[in-house]
Amino acid sequence: MPSAPQHAPTHRRPAGRTKLPSLAAATVLAAGGLAALAGNAGATDGNLLANAGFESGTLDPWSCSGGTGSIVNSGARSGTYALKGAVGASDTAQCGQTVSVQPDTTYNLSAWVQGRYVYLGATGSGVTDPATWTVGGPDWQQLSTSFTTGPSTTSVTVYLHGWYGQGGYLADDLTLTGPGGGSPSTPPSTGTPTGTPTGGPSTPPPNVPLPVAPYIDMGAWPTPSMPNMAEAGGVKGYTMGFVTGIGCKASWFNAYDPRTDWAKDQIDALRAAGGDVKLSFGGAGGTELAAACGSVDSLFNEYDAVVNAYNLRYVDYDIEGAAIADTASNDRRSAALAKLQQAHPGLKVSLTLPVLPEGLTSEGVAIVKSARDAGVNLDLVDIMAMDYYRSGTDYGDAAVQAAQSLFGQLKALYPAKTDAQLWAMVGVTPMIGENDDHQIYHQAAAQQLVTFAERNHLGLLAFWDATRDANACTGGSLSKCTNIPQQPYEFAKIFSQYTG
């Protein structure tokens, strides 16, 4: 990206650059839930929580939302029993216990947990929820936090929960230390919600809708600030490019290892604001991982490592240049993506491919067919509606025509899908302003595409790229501006009108 069958400029970054300073991403998310009032009955060894290791073999006095909690006698961190939360698509499996505390007092809270996106927190009148969380993994991890009660606080609710669609969790060996208080005067009924505890990471529920996600060249210098750009342009997220391969090893544009969470602070900030990111593999420069890795398993391992590093809901594969005709690599990618979706249920996969107004090239159609036949559940086919190298072409009309052509091709590939389902698989990514062939995609063309998308409910509108939309032109460089008259982030503001 950008690319067409005829042309594909590359993106370079200077060496020796430093990582961005951490961005604040403070937010709390409503998690729902409830707790059973326990006072301090059964607490031992200075621990205010009763049945904190679940060794009674029962939930009491813990209570869990919607019957999602149970006690299991396998896999405990210590002893015989542990708490299991059955997280679902619409329930975080929140389990809680309310205890008596003293006002104006500091308390320490900890728990051992196992699972993806497990939260620990406490709520109460006059208490700022100290929620903490872990992205998770196969091993037990300890969550620890502290809080100070308010001048009139007499009880707090300690809670645990997972996150929608992220699978179940285990918890064991909880502790709440500090001076105990008297029994609260009005205990709530067990199993009845007593409020809405909040907390956890700056991460929204999985698959936050992103009908608009402009591409952003993370290899630009200096590194773009996605949160600042999102605020200026009114979009909620971006398609981050590009992860390539140094040999069979995932790398941000041959410079940074995704396993180190490079730019994770920016992603956290976007998620804190209610957005998310798509992460794109491939692009015009560097070696595409599917070509660099010689086996399906080794390719899967690299994709899987990146998905885990950023807890991704969306992955994109920008296939262009020589990669589009590499049948062996494309089939290897398809098999790896099928395996990736098995490992990450609900992961949305898109393919970004070159296009002409008449539709995908034959190689592009073959790539979609390869993914389909391998069992990949494709969320989107995104077309690079740019750089046609056809003098006099109206790029606004051409983008709409390309989308209509793609719809027809998808209809042939997926005959069982309805028209609405097929339109939802269509993504369109023009190059804003002056294209590499010096043709112009102007603001009116952007509005034309938004209107077309609203009529047909397309799955995605994007553009190349967000940095150029800043209109910070220096020396006519197309990497910094659109080379046409515009206000800063004018294209983002037009595209952000589209809501799906």
* Distance (Å, whole) CA 148 – CA 144: 14
- The DSSP secondary-structure symbol of 138 reads S
The three-class DSSP label of residue 382 is: strand
Query: Which residue in 262, 280, 260, 273 sits closest to 227, CA to CA?
Result: 273
- The DSSP secondary-structure symbol of 345 reads T
Do the bridges between strand 132-134 and strand 95-100 make them parallel or antiparallel, or are there none, so unpaired?
unpaired
Query: Which residue in 203, 186, 271 sits closest to 31, CA to CA?
Result: 203
Query: Which residue in 446, 481, 450, 447 sits closest to 467, CA to CA?
Result: 481
* Distance (Å, whole) CA 184 – CA 39: 7
Query: Which residue in 174, 127, 116 sits closest to 28, CA to CA?
Result: 127
Query: Which residue in 252, 429, 427, 242 sits closest to 323, CA to CA?
Result: 242
Residue 423 parent element (H or E): helix 419-423
Query: For the purposes of burial, counting CB atoms within 10 Å of the CB of 328, is it exposed (0-12), middle (13-18) or buried (19 or more)?
Result: exposed
Query: Which residue in 333, 339, 374, 381 sits closest to 359, CA to CA?
Result: 381
* Distance (Å, whole) CA 156 – CA 168: 25
* Distance (Å, whole) CA 281 – CA 87: 30
Catalogue the active-site residues. Answer: 320
Q: What ranges in 293-377 are assigned the alpha helix state H? A: 296-310, 327-343, 362-374
In the block, residue with structure tokens 């790539």: 367
* Distance (Å, whole) CA 240 – CA 91: 30
Phi-psi region of 463 (alpha: psi -120 to 50; beta: other; left: phi over 0): beta
* Distance (Å, whole) CA 438 – CA 431: 11
Asked whether 324 and 384 are in contact (CB, 8 A), the reply is no
Do the bridges between strand 155-161 and strand 141-148 make them parallel or antiparallel, or are there none, so unpaired?
unpaired
Q: How many CA atoms lie within 13 A of 183 on its CB side?
A: 9
The three-class DSSP label of residue 123 is: strand
Question: How many residues are recorded in the chain?
Answer: 500
* Distance (Å, whole) CA 310 – CA 332: 23
